[in-house]
Amino acid sequence: MNEPTLGGRFTFPGTSLTVHRMGYGAMQLAGPGVWGPPRDPDGAVAVLREAAAAGVNHIDTADFYGPHVTNQIIRKALHPYPAGLVIVTKLGARRLPDQSWQPAISPQDLTDGVHDNLRNLGLDALDIVNYRAMGSIHGPKEGSIAEQMTVLAGLRRRGLIRHIGLSNVTAAQVVEAQAITEIVCVQNNYNLANRADDALIDDLARQGIAYVPFFPLGGFTPLQSSTLSSVAGRLGATPMQVALAWLLHRSPNILLIPGTSSVAHLRENLKAATLELPPHTVAELDSIAANAASRSSERQR
Ligand SMILES: NC(=O)c1ccc[n+]([C@@H]2O[C@H](COP(=O)([O-])OP(=O)(O)OC[C@H]3O[C@@H](n4cnc5c(N)ncnc54)[C@H](OP(=O)(O)O)[C@@H]3O)[C@@H](O)[C@H]2O)c1
């Protein structure tokens, strides 16, 4: 697959790391509920090898997926890693035996998390580490992240982390973190139906910082919309391809990491980078979030 089919390139600011805008998110490679081994371990390896063979050079992961499982599958599938592959991981959570997601944000937790990632990925240094703030089920929650950013900056000075990003954060937390260290990317929940971060995306674009939406396809509840289906039908594409193409169109600093455990879905998703969205189609797709917001405010009245 040649470069334009993967959405063009993006260089993380102040780094030598350049990736195709169409990447891959590895969370779906763990077992059900992001817990334990996958139902089809060979299939998981096949997805990663297919992605790398297609030119994907940006993979998102976390050692708390599984836990450990996703990183171990990435290592099995791709180590020794091809030149230019950028693996982005996250710190800030741990899984308990009841499968719950709990904060892991003390200096020791963060340091241990870096070593877990290094060991399970088979690396000497991590390209990019996002500090993932826990927030609430509704999204990010205000509150200082200065202590955690200071710890990450220290781990960076020790050479264990090359660059730092953020996840599940507010605009104020981005500003707070930037006073402590350089931030190269922000990974928040954003898609056609959830556009709470519109202003943040534009602000990060002005600064050349990557915005990496998680749940680009709706995550655990995949996007469903009659407008999306109708646009997809007219373009001869699938709704998921249109949802991804819309994100690529939304802003040049958006990098995609759609997750899938299926080679067929991976191929379908990568092809989204070749989909052209005519302007009237973009306006139609923009109406999805506006309509969702007005329905939600009607419910609250
Ligand atoms: N920072 C954070 O807090 C955070 C949170 C969540 C996720 N993430 C990262 O973001 C990545 C993306 O998010 P996500 O994987 O949760 O959600 P997503 O990419 O929005 O959607 C994944 C879901 O869509 C399905 N899917 C994928 N391609 C499809 C297609 N072409 N047709 C139909 N269904 C399709 C997948 O099922 P199949 O496996 O059957 O394809 C899976 O159920 C994750 O992999 C992870 O790396 C980060």
pLDDT at 295: 65
Q: Do residues 23 and 255 make contact, with C-beta atoms less than 8 angstroms apart?
A: yes
10 Å Cβ neighbour count for 108?
A: 9
Query: How is the chain split among helix, strand and coil, in percent rounded to 5?
Result: 45, 20, 35
E runs forming strands in 134-235:
161-167, 183-187, 210-211
pLDDT at 36: 98
pLDDT in tens, the chain (301 residues): 445 579 999 999 999 999 999 999 999 999 999 999 999 999 999 999 999 999 999 999 999 999 999 999 999 999 999 999 999 999 999 999 999 999 999 999 999 999 999 999 999 999 999 999 998 767 899 999 999 999 999 999 999 999 999 999 999 999 999 999 999 999 999 999 999 999 999 999 999 999 999 999 999 888 999 999 999 999 999 999 999 999 999 999 999 999 999 999 999 999 999 999 999 999 999 999 987 666 666 665 5
Nearest CA to ligand 1 atom 41: 260
Q: Three-state DSSP class for 228?
A: helix
167 CB under 6 A from ligand 1?
yes
Ligand 1 atom with the smallest distance to the CA of 223 is 20
CATH numbers and ranges of domains, the chain: 15-219+249-261 (3.20.20.100)
> Ligand 1 center to residue 228 CA distance, Å?
18
pLDDT at 294: 67
pLDDT at 136: 75
Give kind and range of the element (H or E) at residue 91.
Answer: strand 86-91
Among 35, 215, 228, the mutation site with the greatest number of ligand 1 atoms within 8 A of its Cβ is: 215
pLDDT at 1: 46
* Positions marked catalytic: 65
Q: Three-state DSSP class for 150?
A: helix
Ligand 1 atom with the smallest distance to the CA of 262 is 41
